[in-house]
Amino acid sequence: MRSIRYRPFLATVMIIALISGCSLGGERIYTDSRIAMDTIVTISVVSDSSKEASVSINKVFGEITKLSELANFYSEKSELTAVNLSAGKKPVKVSPELFEIIRLSLDIAGRTGGAFDPTMGAVTALWDFHDEVLPDDTKLNEKAKLVSYKSVVLNDKKGTVFLKKEGMKIDLGGIAKGYAADIAIDLLKGDGIESALVSVAGDIRAYGSKPDGSPWMIGIRDPRPASPTENILAALPLQEMAISTSGDYQRFFIREGTRYHHLLSPKNGRPVKGTQSVSIISDKAVITDSMATAVFIMGPEKGLKFADKMGYLAVIVDDNGRIYISEGLRDVIEIKRPE
Partner 1 sequence: MLSRSKGLNKRFRPADIFLLVFLLSMSVSGIFFIKEVMPKSTNVIIEVDGKQRYSLPLGTDSVTEVKGPEGPTIVEVKNGKVRVTESECPGKICVKQGWVDRGAIICIPNRIIVRLDAEYSDKELDAVTE
Partner 2 sequence: MPSQNNLRIALLAAYAIALHAFEKLIPTPLPWMRFGLANIITLTALVLYGFRAGMMITVIRVTVGSFLTGTFLGPAFLLSFGAGVVSTSAMALTVRYLPRLFGTVGISIIGALFHNLTQLMIAYLVFIKRIEVVIILSPVLILIGTVTGTLNGLVSSMLIDGIKESAAETDGAVTAE
The residues of the shown chain that bind partner 1, judged by CB under 8 A, are 32-35, 38-40, 42, 44, 130-131, 197, 199, 201-204, 206, 210, 216-221, 228-232, 235, 243-245, 247, 250, 279, 336
55 binding partner (options partner 1, partner 2, none; Cβ < 5 to 8 Å by kind): none
Q: Please state the three-class secondary structure of 103-143 as a single string.
A: HHHHHHHHHCCCCCCHHHHHHHCCCECCCCECCCHHHHHHH
DSSP at 332: T
8 touches which of partner 1, partner 2, none (CB within 5 to 8 A by kind)? partner 2
* Size, binding site for partner 2 by CB under 8 A: 13
Q: Which does 94 bind (CB under 5 to 8 A by kind): partner 2, partner 1, none?
A: none
Least Cβ distance, residue 1 to partner 2 (angstroms): 5
Contact call for residue 21 and partner 2 (CB under 8 A) = no
Burial state string for 121-151 with b = 16 or more CB within 10 A and e = fewer than 16: bbbbebbeeeeeeebeeeebeebbebbbbee
> Is the CB of 103 or the CB of 210 nearer to partner 1?
210
Q: How far is the CB of 43 from partner 2 (least distance, A)?
A: 25
Nearest to 113 by CA among 242, 266, 5, 289: 266
Cβ-based neighbours of 4, under 8 Å, separated by 6 or more: none
Task: List, in order, residues 6 or more apart from 312 with CB less than 8 Å away.
Answer: 280, 281, 282, 287, 288, 291, 326
Q: Out of 15, 40, 153, 217, which residue is the one contacting partner 2 (CB under 8 A)?
A: 15
Binding of residue 226 to partner 2 (CB under 8 A) = no
Assess contact for 245 and 292: CB atoms under 8 A: yes
19 binds, among partner 1, partner 2, none (CB under 5 to 8 A by kind): partner 2
Beta carbon nearer to partner 1, 128 or 319: 128
Question: Least Å distance between CB 11 and partner 2?
Answer: 5
What are the DSSP calls for 245-289, one per residue?
Answer: EEETTSSEEEETTEEEES-B-TTTSSBPPSEEEEEEEES-HHHHH
Which x/- pattern, by CB under 8 A, does the window 22-61 give for partner 2? -xx-------------------------------------
**Is there a contact between 68 and 180 (Cβ–Cβ < 8 Å)?**
yes
Q: Which is nearer to partner 2, 16 or 40 (CB)?
A: 16
Which residue's CB is nearer to partner 2, number 5 or number 130?
A: 5
Angle 242-272-299 (CA atoms, 0-180°, nearest 5)? 60
Minimum separation from the CB atom of position 149 to partner 1 (A): 25
- In the complex, least distance from residue 22 CB atom to partner 2, rounded to whole angstroms: 9
266 touches, from partner 2, partner 1, none (C-beta below 5 to 8 Å by class) = none
SS3 (DSSP) at 149: helix
The answer to whether 266 touches 120, Cβ cutoff 8 Å, is yes
Q: 7 contacts which partner out of partner 2, partner 1, none, CB within 5 to 8 A by kind?
A: partner 2
The answer to whether residue 157 forms part of the interface with partner 2 (CB under 8 A) is: no
Of the pair 5, 255, the CB lying nearest partner 2 is at 5
CA 336 to mean position of chain CA atoms? 22
Q: How far is the CB of 50 from partner 2 (least distance, A)?
A: 14
HSE-CB for 170 with a 13 A CA cutoff: 38
CA dihedral 224, 227, 229, 233 (to 10 degrees): -30
Q: Does 212 bind partner 2 (CB under 8 A)?
A: no
- How far is residue 212's CA from residue 239's CA, in Å, rounded to a whole number? 15
In total, the chain counts a number of residues equal to: 339
Nearer to partner 1, 131 or 327 (CB): 131
Q: Which residues bind partner 2 (CB under 8 A)?
A: 1, 4-5, 7-8, 11-12, 15-16, 19-20, 23-24
